[in-house]
Each structure stands twice: as structure tokens, then as C-alpha cells.
Structure 1
């Protein structure tokens, strides 16, 4: 393997694992992350030239560990007060570690809890998770947040500095029952999955590497907390949603909306697991937002077509969700269900109210309004609204889909 693209993909997959190993050993997230980044630069050049080593994880870990020692030595030389930190580093072990010395271990859940430290703001928690756990570059994270690279780089740097200031440490056995932090972790996993399922920017509709990572971490959390209803609900939601992934694009890569998907391509094994999870969870645990969202996904999964969907049940579940966790995105999704039950004009009235709130100018709201306008027969307004939504969308496949919808309205009108 010598071409740049396979090397890049391998490095992306290995980065979170190496970072987890270093942070577990030393606890200093900022230095460890810097050391891993330097090791990645070394690996990109060396592996592209000489080929991937027999033990790529061990190679990268060893080089990153050496870079960590170099950083500590440099800092200690500049600031003698950090000499004690340097003296505590097991240098012989780090410098001489053979490629296969690190025992197999999954540190990513512990790393996720560290990234979701309560001392960090919600945007910083998400940004740090995407960087450390998902292995995204600063540029990719900036695109997802729709901010300049420099702004995102500063946010990540401040987050790492904040972890150092509060003495946040990697915990080999984090207490997952910590209420507030568990809720943050669940929310970050939810956002991580959503970014993988519908990339907010870029040439690809999906980022399967992110959805796989989110499902894997949530599954591990569910294993630790089998009696937590919301953890089960989130895992069920991910499984039921990802089950539709293969049907979301056509042969030409164009987005295929739920109503037009070939449901024979849905993953029935994942649907069965997700449906069973949410059914058992709702039967024995207090109802929470993730469980309700999973129940909505299960209703869609049970239907042979959009016409066969139990839309009154979907609408009723969105009513429950709005009471449990009211927000504008839930209200927009409820409007879609309302349009199926009471007609598109009723939904348009709700969307008009939402346009006066935080979703003003949001491309997904505009896409919903355009769809509803098309259904009521106002093709000229629908065409212009589809075009407006396309201009605001960051995802190239979404842009293409919306422009095709605009063209369809133009030809029908």
C-alpha cells in the first residue's frame, strides 16, 4: 500500500486509537494530541514513500510517544517547574516500546468522556470529539460548523487548554452514571452520528466512518448501562436510521428522499435489532427523547411505503417529543408529519411560524416549505424556494437534489 489515499484513510482510522493510548498513559490531552499530530506528519511521509509497516498502530504509537517525550523535555527546559512532570514519564518504556507491545484495548469511550468534560462549552465538546474521537481535521470540523478554519482551530486550542487548566484526566473506568455528563455524551454521540448520516458540508452525502464510530461507542455504552432507557433508545435510533443508509442515494449519487427509497435495500437485521431495543426499553423505562425518536423511526421502518406509514401515530409521537424536548428541529419534523395527516396547507402554516424563529434562513426549513408548496400546486414559489434552499445548503449532494427539484417544478409549471 503506497498510494496517498489508502495511507490517508489508514491514518484517519488509527488516529483516535493512538490518541486514546497516549492519553491513557499520560493524561495530558493537549500534549498527547500535539504529539499524535506530529507522528501523523511523519507517518504520511514515511509510509507513502516506504510502504505501510507491518504493525502500523504500534509504529504510530511509538513515534507519537517519542514526540510526547520531546515535548515534555522541551517544556521542562523552558520552565523548570515542569521538571517533575518530565521525571514522572516512564521514558525507557516509551522509547523502547516494540510495535506490538500495546495490548488490544478500546480507549475511545473514555476519551469521549474526557472530551465531554463539563468545564467545556457544548460547541467545544463537540469540536473536540470530532477531532479526537472521530479523527476529523480542523478544516472538516470548521466546515461542519460553518466557521472559518482559524476560528475552529482557536476553539479546539482553547478547549485543550481548558482541560489542562482544570486538571481533567483520562479515567480508565469513567463513571457513566454521572447524570449531566452522561447526557452530554449521549448528545455528542447523537450529533456525531447525524454528521455522519447527513454531512453538513462537502462532496459526500454520508460519512460512514462517523456513523460506524458513533454506533460502536453507543453500543459499548449500552453494554455498560443495559438498564438505561435513553442509552438503549439512542442505540435503537442509530440502528433504525442507519438501516436506510444504502437506499439514500441512487446510482448517480443523488440523494433519494425517504418517500422514494427502495425499501428492499433497507437493512432488515438492523431494523429488527433496533425495533426490539426500543420496544423493550419503552416497556420498562421512563420515556425519554431518544426512545421517542427511535419509536418514530420504527414506525417508518415497519411501513412498506410512504402511503402505508401510520402517519397519525408518527404525529402523536412528535407531540410527545415536543413535550419532552421542545426545539425547532422537532417542530419542523412534526410539521412534515402534520402535512401527511391534515394536508400541506396546515403544515405550511406551522412552517411560516418557524420561519420567524431560529430556523429563519435554514436550508432544511426552506426545503420543507418548497416541498409543501409543490404539494399545494404553487410551482413557481416552490421552484424559487428549492433554489434558495440549494444556495444555503453546504452539502453538494443536497444542493444537487434541491436544484433537481427546482427544475422539476419548472418543467411541470
Structure 2
């Protein structure tokens, strides 16, 4: 049984049912029933037209369900006529499904889960394991998302930006459980790029590839974080870097700059440097200036402060950091509203020679770190500076 083939066919089959007027939740249930049947039948009797087979079986499952529900009698009359057998229509509704699963009424977590289920073809159990939540919790999340988008039609253009944000959320989850979400996000973004000619789609794909190329060097065998400047660049995937840069260059040539292209340009400059010392920090600052213009994001300004600190010295970096608000502007919890503010401030203060302040800020950052590996790294940084101060 070719699981990859089955997963690749799911969006098209689901899209056909939705286009025929089946609400999303019912269509998704019918497609899942068809997949179960395919797993049972195909090993001994593989179809000549797998997509057409799945469409036919899913449609029949839907009709069986409709006929069995007396409360849906009127709808049964409307869908009674089954389309004649034959080759499946050539229309691919996968692109429209991306937009449907990134519906603006869904929360980000629900949009991600629905995308992985409907477009990615993952099971509820796989998604739950990837997000380290109980399967029942994920099933409820997906069910609510399906109910939310039920009735939405595939006849209106969607918001590309929303789809890209959902895919980037998937990518940033990285790897956990038995599903590599970073690789899955790249696969889905490749499919999106094949179906839509948009420079920001290409920009996101390039960004993912350039980040993913460094994956093997990001942690030690013990799972400890390795900062970018200390990573073994021999372990970077040069083929993936070359592909990402080529995709980015083609996107930039269209002169329709967006935030993902600019982020990918920063990643490309890091990837292009043979050593950390050879990094073109002034050009990275220029790209962050573009990102500030495009997004005015506090996180972008934070990263820009790091780049300024590398290009013009730590005091210049601290001045750029001050634009985000002094530590006195922290919330009642003592945490600065911009994530990783304390960690960046610690790094810049250390480079400026203020080790006491840096150690205190590293410890503060460790207390707010969302992941164990990051917390451990920041705690060790604080301990290192405290030991030097003795």
C-alpha cells in the first residue's frame, strides 16, 4: 500500500465532494471511509485510476449516509443521482482547500490541525502525537474546525497570506512524535507553489528550505541547542541551500517584495557565509529594515537589534533594542511583551562587557523560555557568566 500516494490524493477527492455541494465535515468523513476501504481492497485489487476510485467510493459512502438519515430527506432527493462511472474530472481543488482550511474564523491552532488533516492527509492520532496532546483533544479541535467551515464554498479566492501563516506555523513546530512537521510543511508548501504563481509562496518555500538545511547542526547528540555562530557548517545541507537560494532569486526578480522573501534573504546571507565571522551583517540589517517597513513587527525589530549589534557594535545594538521599550515596560508578570527580549538583551550586554547584567538577563530569559532545550541553554549561559564573576 502506497501511503504517500493515498495522502497526495486526499485533497483532490475532498475538493470534488465539497464542490458537489457536500458540507466539509460530511465530505471529510466520507473520504476517510473511502481511505479505509482502499487500504482493505487495493493490495489485492489495485485500481487503474486511484483518484477516480476514491471519488466514487467516497461519493457512495456519502449517499449511503444521506439515505440513512431521515432528517436529511430533502437533501437526499437533491443528491440521489450518482454521477456516471468513468475517469475523474481533471480539476484539482487542492489549492482551494488550502484557503478553506485557513478560514479567517478559525483559530491558528485549529487551522493548522485542519490543514494537516484535510490537505496533508495525516490521521488525528498522528497530529495529536506531533502536538503532544491527547488524541481526543485533537479530535475535538478538528471536529470544531470542520463544523466552522462547513457550508463554505470553493468558489471564492482565498487569502494567500493566511495560508502562508498557517504553513509557517506548521513548519515552526519542527519535529515531535512520529511526524516531522517541518518536512510536512515543506511538502505542503511545495504543492501550494505548484498550484499558485505567487512570489510570497516561493519566498516561504525558500525560507523553509534555508532554515531546514541547518537542522542537523542545531542541536548536539544530547539535544542541547547550538547557537548559529557555533554550528558546524559542514553539516549544513548544501543542496537544500542551493535550491532555496535559486527559488528566492527567482521570486525577488519579480520585484514584488514580501515579508517571507525578505526573511529568506536574511537566511540566505547566513547560509552563504563560510564562517560566522564572514556573515554580511550590514546587508542583513538592510533586509531587516525592509522587514520593519513591511511588517512593523516587534519581533523583527528585536532581530534587527541583534544584527545591528553585530554590524555596528553592541552599544548600537542596545540602542536599537531600546526602541522596543525599556525593561520597565514589562508586564505585571515581569516578562517583556516581546518574546526573547531578555535573551537578546543578555547577549548584547555580554558583548558590551556588562557581565553582571548579562547573567541576570540570561537567568530571567531562562525562566520564560518555552522549551526545555532553550531553558537549559540560557541557564548555562547565566551560570557561565556567574562563574567568571567570582
TM-score relative to the length of structure 1: 0.71
- CA shift for structure 1 position 335: 1.3
**Match for residue 150 of structure 2?**
164
Residue number among 23, 35, 39 corresponding to 2:14 in the alignment: 23
Change (3 A) 1:56 1:376: farther
1:405 and 2:381 matched: yes
How far, CA to CA, are the matches of 2:365 and 2:337 in structure 1? 8
Aligned with 1:193 (options 164, 167, 171) = 171
Structure 2 residue 362 is the aligned partner of structure 1 residue 386:
yes
Aligned residues: CA RMSD: 4.4
Shifted more, 311-320 versus 364-373: the winner is 364-373
Q: Deviations over 1:334-377 (max 9, x none)?
A: 11101112333433344453564898355533332332333334
Q: Which residue of 1 aligns with 2:215?
A: 245
Gaps of 5+ in 2: none
Q: Counterparts in 2 of 1:131-280, with a 5 A limit?
A: 131-134=117-120, 135=122, 137=124, 156-166=142-152, 168-169=153-154, 178=157, 181-196=159-174, 209-226=180-197, 228-280=198-250
CA contact (8 A) 1:338 1:346 kept: yes
What's the CA shift for 1:68? 5.1
* Cα distance in 2, alignment partners of residues 126 and 318 from structure 1: 27
Displacement of 1:54 in angstroms is 7.1
Q: TM-score, normalised by structure 2?
A: 0.74
How far apart, in 2, do the equivalents of 1:318 and 1:385 lie? Answer: 24
Secondary structure in 2 matching 1:253? coil
What's the secondary structure of 1:278's corresponding residue? Answer: helix
**2:340 paired with 1:364:** yes
Of 244, 259, 264 in structure 2, the residue corresponding to residue 294 of structure 1 is 264
Equivalent residues of 2:15, 2:93 under 8 A apart: yes
1:84 alignment partner, one of 77, 86, 108:
77
- What's the CA shift for 1:239? 1.9
Q: Distance in 2 between matches of 1:387 and 1:64?
A: 56
User: 1:118 offset after TM fit, Å?
Assistant: 5.1
Contact 2:210 / 2:240 at 8 angstroms: preserved in 1? Answer: yes
Check conservation: 2:24, 2:151, Cα contact below 8 A. Answer: no
> C-alpha displacement at 1:164, in angstroms?
1.6
1:261 shift after superposition = 0.6
